[in-house]
């Protein structure tokens, strides 16, 4: 009996409890509304950027593929065709879809490699010998910059994406 009296609300304290509960419910509703609005706007922004981000990724992969095509070319004609494809990417899609830092990274070594070793437009101390390994060396800085930038764009480190097991529901 003594325990029941302890939990009985006094008539004098009832208005203050009522006020606090209503205030807490109002604050909670405002917080939930603000969180929902933030999530909605964030998802809209990601959906809006999704086509651009997909083209960004395609451009990075295509640039890497063009350098590989140059390195793997068996004939002079194949090498010239691969070089022309690289320059089309460099002057076109790369300018549109790559960020300033990624484009700068592309300019520093891969474009210099193609200009010096493939097209023989000029000489550079970076490439005193233009052997087959020069292509893979030229692309390493671009690849690292691309990995960091894509991780930032996707808001998730690419190592985590790579290490995540495939979704069994999609198989």
- CB-CB neighbours of 10 under 10 Å: 7
Q: Is 30 left (phi over 0), alpha (psi -120 to 50) or beta?
A: alpha
Number of domains composing the chain? 1
Stretch (H or E) spanning 22: helix 14-72
Structure confidence at residue 150 as a pLDDT band (50, 70, 90): confident
pTM: 0.65
Q: Is 132 among the domain residues?
A: yes
Hey, what are 18's tokens? 């009522």
pLDDT tens digits, one per residue of 36-77: 988 888 888 778 888 888 898 999 999 999 999 998 889 999
Q: Is 145 among the domain residues?
A: yes
Q: Is 104 among the domain residues?
A: yes
Hey, what are 90's tokens? 């460099």
| Residue 113 domain boundaries | 49-162
Q: Is 43 among the domain residues?
A: no
pLDDT tens digits, one per residue of 110-131: 898 888 888 888 887 777 777 6
Structure confidence at residue 6 as a pLDDT band (50, 70, 90): low
CB 94 within 8 A of CB 59: yes
Taking the C-alpha atoms of residue 94 and residue 98, their distance in angstroms, rounded to an integer, is 5
CB 167 within 8 A of CB 145: no
Q: Is 35 among the domain residues?
A: no
Secondary structure class of 62 (helix, strand, coil): helix
Residue 166 has pLDDT above 60, yes or no: no
Q: Is 154 among the domain residues?
A: yes
């Amino acid at each position: 009996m003594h325990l029941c009296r302890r939990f009985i609300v006094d008539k004098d304290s009832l208005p203050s409890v009522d006020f606090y509960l209503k205030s807490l419910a109002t604050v909670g509703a405002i917080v939930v509304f603000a969180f929902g609005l933030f999530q909605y706007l964030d998802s809209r922004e990601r959906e809006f950027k999704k086509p651009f981000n997909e083209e960004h990724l395609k451009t990075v992969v295509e640039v890497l593929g063009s350098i590989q095509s140059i390195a793997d070319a068996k004939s002079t004609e194949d090498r010239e065709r691969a070089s022309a494809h690289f320059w089309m990417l460099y002057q076109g899609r790369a300018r549109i879809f790559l960020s300033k830092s990624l484009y700068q990274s592309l300019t520093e070594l891969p474009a210099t490699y193609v200009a010096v070793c493939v097209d023989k437009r000029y000489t550079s101390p970076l490439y005193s010998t233009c052997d087959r390994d020069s292509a893979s060396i030229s692309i390493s800085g671009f690849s690292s910059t691309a990995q960091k930038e894509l991780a930032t764009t996707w808001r998730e480190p690419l190592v985590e994406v790579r290490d995540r097991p495939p979704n069994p529901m999609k198989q």
